[in-house]
Amino acid sequence: MQKTTLILILFISSIFAVAQRDKPIASSCTKGNCYKFTVELREYSNRIYYDITNNTQDKKDIELFIEDKDGKWWSQGYKNNFPAGEETTFDRFNATSNYVIFYKDAGDKTYRFPSESEVQEKFGKKKYGYGNN
């Protein structure tokens, strides 16, 4: 009975994971073409601070990805219900100034944020030559 229940739970979980994966990825902007958000960088002792301002008219859900000096892209986390005109700060040790902001309307379930491996595949410098400041 316990084995059947465990198999059923795993099966249902896999269905939800596949359904989530089929959603389109949220919009994005990168260093140099990010007009919906203002990004100011500050560096102190090998740590870069990314001050992000929402320049849109609406609340947004965002996820910030930052490239480390070794070329690996890392998620710095989410900011949900990010109000228009407000500022938030993320920071990372040993990072470059390269970033990607994925964003969608606050609470929108139509789009998803990508995984770190999807960001690495799309923006990794080995494939596209992006980055390396």
Are 88 and 16 in contact, with CB atoms under 8 Å apart? no
Given a cut of 70, is residue 133 above it in pLDDT? no
CA gap 96, 130 in Å, rounded? 12
pLDDT bin (cut points 50, 70, 90) of residue 27 is very high
**126: Cβ–Cβ under 8 A, 6 or more apart, which residues?**
71
**Mean per-residue pLDDT, 56-84:** 95
* pLDDT tens, position by position, 77-104: 999 999 999 999 999 998 989 999 999 9
Structural domains present in the chain: 24-128 (2.60.40)
**The predicted structure's pLDDT at residue 127:** 47
**The predicted structure's pLDDT at residue 33:** 87
**The predicted structure's pLDDT at residue 28:** 93
Report the 10 Å Cβ neighbour count for 70. 7
Sheet of 27-30, strands arranged across: 27-30, 95-105, 60-68, 73-82
**Mean per-residue pLDDT, 117-129:** 77
Closest CA to 51 of 41, 64, 63, 61: 41
**The predicted structure's pLDDT at residue 128:** 44
